[in-house]
Structure 1
Amino acid sequence: MFCAEVKNYQHPSDQGTQFDEFVAKCYVACQAGHLLSDHLMWITWAPFRASTWAQLDSPKHVESAVLQHRDRVLGTDDIATAQSRIQHEVVQMVAARLWLIVLSEKQETLVPLKDWEAIVASELIRKGEQW
């Protein structure tokens, strides 16, 4: 099961700000045991924060995003109090489940060949499943 936010933008725009808010919401969802939180996906057509891309799914970034939204997520505007309220096991959980996926318009036209479709259909039918 997964939860996703999709941004079909032509340019990075304000995705960095929106991504941090998404990560903070993911923290709340994982903390609450949300059923659709096995995978947390950010899907975009426009890469953003290229210089820090490799760290966007790190526990350090998750913690930073939660602290940015501490008033809503942790119920306090005080940074010291917020830091003491962060559940580090939830931070780790969010970081482990976070996916950053970049698509392109060209990928949208990618469809399976009829031969491959026939192989998949044959295998499903052989297993007694519907095609």
Structure 2
Amino acid sequence: MFVAEVKNYRHASDQGAQFDEFVAKCYVARSMGYLLGDHFMWITWTPFRAQSWSQLDSSEHVVHSVLQHSARVFGTADRAAAEAQMDLSVAQEVAARIWLIVLSDKQETLVPLKDWEAIVAAELIRKGEQW
């Protein structure tokens, strides 16, 4: 099961801020035992934060995002009070479940040709599997 937020933008816009909010929401969902959150997917057509892209799914970034939205997450804007409530194990769980997916308009048109579908179907049927 997964939760996804989809941003089909032409430009990066304010995706960084929206992503941080999404991550904070994922933290809340995970901390409350949300059962449909095996994976947290951020799907976009425009990359953002290129300089820190490789860190966006880190537990440090999860902590940063949660503290940035601490008033909504913990009910306090006081950083020390929010840090005291932060569960680092939940932040690590969220980080491990984040998927950053970048698509393109061209990928949306990538569908198998009918001839290839027939070949795959025939092979599956030959092996006794369902099509």
Give the aligned partner of residue 83 of structure 2: 83
**Any idea what the Cα deviations from partners look like across 1:36-94, whole Å, max 9, x if unmatched?**
21110000001000111010000000000000000111121110010010011100000
Task: Work out the CA distance in 1 between the residues paired with 2:57 and 2:76.
Answer: 24
CA shift at 1:114, angstroms? 2.5
Residue in structure 2 matched with residue 58 of structure 1 by the alignment: 58
Unaligned runs of 5+ in 2: none
Residue aligning to 2:48: 48
Give the stretch that moved more between structures: 69-78 or 113-122: 113-122
CA RMSD of aligned residues (A): 1.5
Q: Paired residues, what number?
A: 129
Residue 23 of structure 2 is matched in structure 1 by 23
What is the alpha-carbon distance in structure 2 between the residues aligned to residue 38 and residue 100 of structure 1?
14
Which residue pairs with 2:74 in the alignment? 74
**Structure 1 residue 116, shift from structure 2 partner:** 3.5
Q: Closer, same or farther in 2 for the Cα pair 1:36/1:119, shift >3 Å? A: farther
Q: What is the SS of the residue equivalent to 2:33?
A: coil
Equivalent position of 1:39 in the other structure: 39
> How many percent of aligned residue pairs carry the same amino acid?
67
| One-letter amino acid of the structure 1 residue matched with residue 97 of structure 2 | R
Is 1:11 matched up with 2:11?
Answer: yes
Q: Which residue of 2 aligns with 1:107?
A: 107
Q: 1:49 corresponds to which letter in structure 2?
A: R
